[in-house]
Amino acid sequence: MKNNFDKCMNLLFANEGVISNNRHDTGGLTKYGITEKSWIAYKKNSFQQSNISISKITKEAAKKFYKKEFWNKLKCDNLPVGIDYLLFDASVNSGRSQAIKWIQRVLLIADDGIIGKETLKSINASLLRRSTCMEFTLRRRLFVRSLDTYGVFGAGWEKRINLVNDDAIRMINEAAI
């Protein structure tokens, strides 16, 4: 329940640190995991007149984007350490609504894809955080395996999912000490 943003960003950058424009990726041109389309919408919604293209953004600009568009919207500062990272990374990789639905299904509550009072209460009330993490990771893994592009990106997704799960559990264990 403390600010874990910088630690989570460093872990995210380890997975999303390069420019990519793979023809099989529906996201198109990305840098630090941010799609060009998302970057343009973010600038427009933030009333920024900058003409900086996605390929030229800095890590600091990417951090501001992730803080506003993901971390804050997911209310990660109100989540237990470890669960915040799990939800944050999955949201970046598969979308906020999808990641929120996974955690809601794990907690056996209505899966509306919104982090509201009931979801926050259920996440914070759960004492089985490692089990929650493992079940969430299983749902995430099954989802990516169902995608048509799994043959192209599957090995990378599996590696990322395993690393995120391990890091989230490590955070949970360290917070319990």
Question: What pLDDT score does 49 carry?
Answer: 57
Q: According to the model, what pLDDT value does residue 1 have? A: 47
Of the two residues 106 and 175, the one the predictor is more confident about is 106
- In angstroms, the CA 90 to CA 76 distance is 13
CATH architecture classification, 5-176: Up-down Bundle (1.20)
- Please write the tens of the pLDDT for every residue from 127-158: 889 999 999 999 999 999 999 999 999 999 99
Please indicate, yes or no, whether the overall pTM of this predicted structure exceeds 0.85: yes
pLDDT of residue 135: 97
Give the residue extent of every domain in the chain.
5-176
Q: Cα separations (Å) of 21 from 9, 70, 113?
A: 22, 22, 29
